[in-house]
Amino acid sequence: MTVAIVLGSASPARLKLLHAAGVEPRVFASEVDEGAVMAHAKESYGELDPADMALVLARAKAEAVSTALADRPDHLVLGCDSILDIDGEVHGKPVDAAEATARWQRMRGQSGTLHTGHWLIDDREDGTGATFGAVASTVVHFAQLDDAEISAYIATGEPLRVAGAFTIDGLGGPYITSIEGDHSNVVGLSLPLLRDLLREIGLEFHHLRESPAPA
């Protein structure tokens, strides 16, 4: 039995993680106004901590994809969102090079917590109909970069494309000294957490992998 899954994210890093784990998801990027989602959440629930913010956004993205594909169900939908928390302040993708530079000037030699919200919707025809999620959090320790290193990294353009203005699996890898927690979560999707979510609806991770062709 192979279960189809839709990844509600255009992130190449998330897709690469799933591919490496043997999963070939359909990619359907959500069209979500994150500012509007957070404003509504704040109005409904009050101030949210960074982990809850990541989960709210992941849910909104999964629900948007589920709705968009409602006329052709029979799959799981996974939405994800990552937020970097540094001393209680949250950071997503920087808006420009100046913000990315300021971010790294603050992060260097420090630590932050990368929260990734995961939201799973069971839209299989014979599925549970469940919609639920969880957050994985990993502490990231940043190297003490000098201004020249920061400038060179920002000039690559990579920090402008990712939450927190860094990667661990790309050009930013040399600037991460260590982590505490799940490595795949820092990339953008916690594979161990996804396994746990699948088990909540009676599936194992290998159900997402294509069965090998008979010899």
- Which of the residues are catalytic? 81
Cα distance between residue 195 and residue 184, in whole Å: 12
Cα distance between residue 174 and residue 89, in whole Å: 24
Instruction: List, in order, residues 6 or more apart from 64 with CB less than 8 Å away.
Output: 8, 30, 31, 32, 79
Do residues 175 and 142 touch, judged by C-beta distance below 8 A?
yes
Do residues 36 and 64 touch, judged by C-beta distance below 8 A?
no
| Secondary structure string (H, E, C) spanning 106-141 | HHCCCEEEEEEEEEEEECCCCCCCCEEEEEEEEEEE
Do residues 142 and 60 touch, judged by C-beta distance below 8 A?
no
Nearest to 79, CA basis, from 124, 32, 45: 32
Q: Give the containing element (helix H, strand E) for 60.
A: helix 50-68
